Structure 1
Amino acid sequence: MTEAPTAPPAYTTSRAAGCPFDPPQAMSGLLGSEPISRVTLWNGATAWYVTRHADQVALLRDERISADNRLPSYPSISAGSEATRAHNRSFITMDEPEHNEQRKRFTGDFTIKRTKALRERIERIIGELLDGMEKAGSPADLVTSFALPLPSLVICELLGVPYEDHGFFQRASAVIIDTRSSAQDALDASQELVDYLGDLVEKKVRHPGDDLLSRLAADYLVTGISTRDECAKQARLLLVAGHETTANMIALGTCALLQNPEQLAAVRDGDPRRVAGAVEELLRYLTITHLGRRRVATQDIEVGGQLIRAGEAVICATDVANRDPAVFEDPDRLDIDRNARRHLAFGSGPHQCLGQNLARIELQLAYPALLRRLPGLRLDRPLEEIPFRTDMAVYGVHELPVAW
């Protein structure tokens, strides 16, 4: 009798006990054994799992690889993500030329020059949040008291979203990116957020301000370039990504530094150039976009000696690529003085993260300010009791109890 073919190993986000900053061993081990191999996803579908840094760069820059999440074989991360594929369509799930046409509407708001102009305002927000932490006293949850409100306040001001609504949009965002959310819960949360932002866009038509939503409103009604729904979905992407990613980098990066006191001291006391380098290393080492870049081949592609057929799903495992020893010496060690600029935390190619300049300046200001203001900062419970976000599309910690 002929034996049935063995299914590819299951894709997993489970990390080894005591190693919350390292990629899952079952996945990272493929880098040395099968750098391009098949994995089985949550719904039984399969995808090519690409681990090498060079192969990922080649694929993410190849026009034969599609980011369009409407394609039948697109490798969604969960049932909720699958259910909201079409509903959450934005420029990051578009291909050229549509991707560039949509993305360029926002590039001016996220240039290095524009984000540098926000520096003083970000510093004031940081100072106010740290004042609040000191006033409330030790202990505290760093996520709710500092890491989450900082980028939320910044992105709210940039977009023109009232920060007093943060409870609503943070809860909705959490449901959307939770891989455990049911299809209906994810759809409901996404629709609530799109409806909310659509209403805001319409209000901006009547009462415009100096913010991004006001410009979207002008596109929506005045020029007719976009519809209300399109504007709301683009704003949804910027709002969710603008606070979830940086918030988790602040909290998770602080947690990692607390495990490395010498490097923490260097970030606390270092000059801006050294701090900037430390941020790049933390982005590489932690890779909070731990579910990788999801794509579909639209034509046959050969990469790394492996043929990927048209229509096949691809996952570029950025967390594993950021530990590739061919690019980073001793990659499993946190070293804030290494040159980590080749990391793929922000992706590569035309879909490289639009908000990376804003994220960098927030992180470069947040880490040293926090560590200088609270020099005795420490975890308030053992590392093994910290709840890490293996169940979310953005890795990090659900809470980070600290004392000082």
Structure 2
Amino acid sequence: MLDIADELHRWAEEGRDFAVATVVAVGGSAPRGPGAALAVDGGGKVIGSVSGGCVEAEVYELCRQALADGETVVQRFGYSDEDAFAAGLTCGGTLDIMVTPVAADAPWRSVFRAVLAGAAQGEPVAVARVVRGPAGLLGRALAVRPDGPHEGSIGGGAELDRTAAAEARAMLDAGRTGTVGLSEDGSHCPGGLTLLVEANVPPPRMIVFGAVDFAAALVRAGKFLGYHVTLCDARPVFATRDRFPEADDIVVDWPHRYLRRARTDGRTVLCVLTHDAKFDIPLLKEALRMPVAFVGAMGSRRTHLDRDRRLRDVGLTEGELARLRSPIGLDLGARTPEETALSIAAEIVAARRGGTGVPLTGSESPIHAEGGERGGVAAA
């Protein structure tokens, strides 16, 4: 639901009734993961997507029905060999989708408004909703922020609300969206309640070091992937807004000095394009000792060997050096700055999602990994 928070927030502020269909679980190969949403307002306008087109028409009708009868439902969609033209997933997976009406008298409307307002403003906020359990609790919701009390209730009493809020806050801290099982007394138990927790966190950071000709294309690729992109270079004549109009931030400073004070976390991507030892070595010495998601450096294989020797000389261990992706990028045969940026972006996505980078043609591995993440990086 939070993937369409901007528009839903506008609908809520305008007082519209609407229904939200949210993916709550996936099985096998499915096009979209938990949290993906489609919404329909009282006038029939639709936004968002739950499957990339496979089941949208039927989900639209479920939303219209929910608006009419006020009932929350969970529907499973899959592929049927016996009825290939029925609504389903031709990719062979399954989707469990919860459809929730958000009318003026819905008990969770105030929670939705609070969550949507926070997400639309880019604030860290999470919403936990009952997606499996007693019929009277289905769709009930509570919202949490990093600090302060929760808002709303999942309807099972104060102790269950406290447990649900703690689980939602933990997933918010990790920047994750997914399900968690609880029992009605507040302990974990698959036979009790299942909550879908959707977390909204600020976009992950990409820091591009080096205002070289490849950097402008990589900045654009980073923005396309949803990163907050910073360009850093010690040379003010090159690090300019005219040259990098799409960067969120432009920093003129020595790269290693800026990195020491920069805000980073386990989702941060660092791309070193300077391929100049006087910049690279101090920067990579800092970067490879930080708990970030990705550290890559541009350069020829000869440059990499020289860089590796210099980094060993300044004390980096084998484990630290093993984190460095150099030369940066997948082997696409790239030549132009745009092709090179694509190869770097592809490696970042593969590292984040646990992909192999090999062609899907002839591959036996699943196209969509279970849970959407095969690597150790939290979802953005």
TM-score by length of 1: 0.24
Per residue, is there more helix in 1 or in 2? 1
Higher Rg? 2
Structure with more relative contact order (C-alpha pairs < 8 Å, separation 6 or more): 1
